[in-house]
Amino acid sequence: MEATNPAGLFSAVKTNPDPHLLKHLVNHPMKIGFDCASHSEVAEILSLSVPPEDIIYANPCKAPSHICYAAAKNVRKMTFDNVAELYKIKAHFPEAECILRFKVSEQTPDDEGSSEGAMYELSKKYGVTIDYSREILLKAKELGLNVIGLAFHVGSGQWNVNAYRDYIKEARRIWEIASEVGYTFTMLDIGGGFMYRNFEKAAGVVNTTLDNEFGDLIERGEVEVVAEPGRYVSAPAFTLLTSVIAVREGKEQANENRMLYLADGMYSNISATLWPGELTFPTVLKGKRVYDQKPTLPKSSASSDSGIEMDEADEADNVNVYQETSGAATLLGGELQEYSVWGPTCDCLDVVIKSALLPKGIELGDWFVFKDLGAYSTTLRTSFNGFRMNHKVYYLNETMNTGLT
Ligand SMILES: Cc1ncc(COP(=O)(O)O)c(C=O)c1O
């Protein structure tokens, strides 16, 4: 059966498997496929009636039982980057359509000469270099496996768009090696790493380099170029609202800044703080939580986004009420003051913002709004320090504001 995803876009499930987001993507007019990295992600996507052809099992190191599951469900496309994986595939799913994951050994700096690269350097964990590609492809040939193409990932949250050029150029060289080994490749998977903040730039580099390196094959219809964007798709779909649960100031300060503590932090939905460039600068809403009252839902929101997440408020009081002080939430603005902003756990690493100028006068019960926090947020949270992992999610529209809309 032919795959039904003409966009060549396999959305990475791991960034946010929110059921409404997945449903939205499954029904998206672009006809999207999915990048799954585990048995349960595959099962989740198949349960939404996505045909197995529209899934890439994009994890080069899979448990044997997960390969058996893929075989049982006929999810054929899967990546590999080591000989042990080839033996597992041979044993459990010899009909698989294997895709070789590679990496480049050296990366060109960006146009400004900065060596800043990806927030998550996935090549530290996966991918063969070109030097080893012939040997591993010969092994695949010897085992009689069907290798259909190449995959790479430039690193998640990639600031240096030249990385796409490096990888696509290397792909063409490995493509030729594959042909010498006796494989006729048909798929080039350019992975993820895209951020909406530099998407246009990255897309420009991808298109130009594809034209230069693969133009002949593309023209003859001999290569299907696909991508696996993750954060680009899901980040804009959700906004996080979290409240100030504690304030230390004046003589109580442990550093020179006024200290605020939020109900959410790096062990819950804001693990993005590990990579400061990823967290959008917050806006602050004036709002008093009313204690000792029956919880009610918020009446208004600060965001016109399609999705909105709210933290489980200070659980000690078992209150998660947000009541506006005067009908509508007011945005704090005007004079600024230096703050440090912390998460709720007792770990000193749980810092959301080390130092920033924020509106003067933020107090207990006010709200921080972090836009575009839909990627790697809910999926990475933990129950560390006994903080419960539940939070409320409000869907504001039928459609979701993803990077694809
Ligand atoms: C194989 C693979 N594809 C796609 C993605 C999504 O990456 P991103 O969110 O940077 O677009 C990841 C992220 O880890 C990945 O490992």
d(CA 22, CA 36): 12
- Over residues 48-73, mean pLDDT: 98
Q: Which of 5-14, 95-104, 267-276 has the highest mean pLDDT?
A: 95-104
| CB contact set of 168 (below 8 Å; sequence gap of 6+) | 188, 190, 206, 209, 210, 213, 214
Q: Computed over its alpha carbons, how large is the radius of gyration of the chain? A: 24
What is the pLDDT at residue 253?
76
Q: Are 122 and 266 in the same domain? A: no
Decide if 36 is catalytic: no
Residue 258 burial (10 A CB sphere; 0-12, 13-18, 19+): buried
What is the pLDDT at residue 1?
43
Residue 214 within any structural domain of the chain: yes
Can you list the positions of beta strands (E) in 65-138?
A: 77-80, 97-101, 118-120
Query: Global pTM?
Result: 0.88
Residue 2 within any structural domain of the chain: no
Spell out the alpha helix ranges (H) of 220-299. 231-234
Ligand 1 mean position, distance from CA 328 (Å): 39
Establish whether residue 344 lines the binding site of ligand 1, counting it when its CB lies within 6 angstroms of any ligand atom.
Answer: no
| Domain boundary pick from 193, 216, 233 | 233
What are 390's two structure tokens?
């539940």
Read off the amino acid at residue 377: S
Ligand 1 mean position, distance from CA 326 (Å): 44
What are 300's two structure tokens?
């208004």
Residue 401 within any structural domain of the chain: no
Q: Are 345 and 385 in the same domain? A: yes
Q: Which numbered atom of ligand 1 lies nearest the CA of 37?
A: 1
| Domain boundary pick from 233, 258, 287 | 233
What are 188's two structure tokens?
């080039």
For ligand 1, atom 5, name the residue with the nearest CA.
192
d(CA 53, CA 178): 23
d(CA 333, CA 288): 16
Cα–Cα nearest to 241, from 316, 200, 296, 298 = 298
Residue 402 within any structural domain of the chain: no
- Report the CATH number at residue 165: 3.20.20.10
Q: Are 210 and 349 in the same domain? A: no
Q: Are 306 and 377 in the same domain? A: yes
Phi, psi of 68 (to 5 degrees): -60, -40
For ligand 1, atom 13, name the residue with the nearest CA.
156
- Over residues 164-185, mean pLDDT: 98
User: Is 145 or 302 the better-scoring residue by pLDDT?
Assistant: 145
Cα–Cα nearest to 268, from 344, 367, 365 = 344
d(CA 23, CA 10): 14
Q: Are 242 and 229 in the same domain? A: no
pLDDT confidence bin for 403, thresholds 50/70/90: confident
Q: Are 147 and 263 in the same domain? A: no
| Domain boundary pick from 201, 233, 265 | 233
- Give the count of domains, the chain: 2
DSSP letter at 249?
-
- Report the CATH number at residue 331: 2.40.37.10
Residue 48 within any structural domain of the chain: yes
Q: Is 297's pLDDT higher than 70?
A: no
Q: Are 361 and 318 in the same domain? A: yes
Catalytic residue selected from 36, 61, 346, 348:
346
Q: Are 227 and 115 in the same domain? A: yes
Ligand 1 mean position, distance from CA 359 (Å): 36
What range does the domain containing 357 cover?
A: 238-395
Read off the amino acid at residue 292: D
Q: What percent of the chain has pLDDT over 90?
A: 59
What is the pLDDT at residue 70?
98
pLDDT, one tens digit per residue, over 250-280 is 878 777 789 999 999 999 999 866 666 667 8
Residue 3 within any structural domain of the chain: no
Q: How many CA atoms lie within 13 A of 107 on its CB side?
A: 24
